[in-house]
Amino acid sequence: MNPKVKEALEWVYCIIIAVVLALLFRYYVGTPTIVQQVSMYPTLEQNQRLWLNRWTRTTKKMPERGQIITFEAPSKKSYSESEIDNGNPVARYENEPTNIFSKFTYYVLEMGKDSYIKRTIALPGEHVEIKEGKVFINGEELEEPYLQPGIVTDVSGVGFSDFVVPENCVFAMGDNRNHSTDCRAFGCIPLERIESTVAIRFWPLDKWGEVD
């Protein structure tokens, strides 16, 4: 083989291996992201940079209450009154990729895929009630020090307000309750749809560190 061709092929192999390793690391271990919406204000602000821990997805670990997570956005984000089923308050995921290429593009490259970032509020088996502008878990008011003073938690229009979180699911909401489309509207998130937990904020530098 021509030495120049051999050298070119070696470079191609190295590039392919580097790309594959980068994709594997991004999918299974962690990845950076940019906050794009205001639903987690004041905890998170637009254009802040975060490092996401995806090892929790790899190990299928249930997040803890209070942890900020990212998850695949449900395909159905709102319901009519007749569609609300408090006995089965699980978000719907329809229009799934059907072949290997589309699954790779969607789940690994994340092309055409939307994700939400919210705070874990309730865990499997817990009874959630949203009433009087507050959140109650198993009959007890949930203390939420991360909310701005005066924030009221309610269900605008049609949504889930009195239910038990199903097994292998979590109930999550944004801290900016009046400007957050979350589980109140579309239901609880299955564990297999949770993509990561927020590890640290690394930008801006004056806010570097863990996110509470």
The reply to whether 93 falls in a domain is yes
Structural domain that includes position 142: 3-207
R_g of the chain, CA atoms, integer Å: 20
Specify the 3-state DSSP secondary structure of 115: strand
Model confidence pLDDT, tens digit, residues 135-187: 999 999 999 999 999 999 999 888 999 999 999 999 999 999 999 999 999 99
Interacting residues of 95 by C-beta distance below 8 A, sequence separation 6+? 75
In a domain, 169, yes or no: yes
| Mean predicted confidence (pLDDT) in 75-80 | 91
- CA 157 to CA 86: how far, in whole Å? 15
Kindly report the CATH number assigned to the domain that includes residue 108: 2.10.109.10
User: What is the count of structural domains for the chain?
Assistant: 1
Q: How far is CA 6 from CA 1, 13, 18, 80, 199, in A?
A: 6, 11, 18, 63, 43
Q: Write the pLDDT tens digit of every residue in 82-130.
A: 999 899 999 999 888 889 999 889 988 888 899 999 999 999 999 999 9
Domain presence at residue 99: yes
> Tokens representing 211?
């996110």
Q: Evaluate whether 89 touches 160 at the Cβ level (below 8 Å).
A: yes
Task: Name the residue with tokens 């191609």.
Answer: 12
Please indicate, yes or no, if residue 197 is contained in any of the structural domains.
yes
Please indicate, yes or no, if residue 212 is contained in any of the structural domains.
no
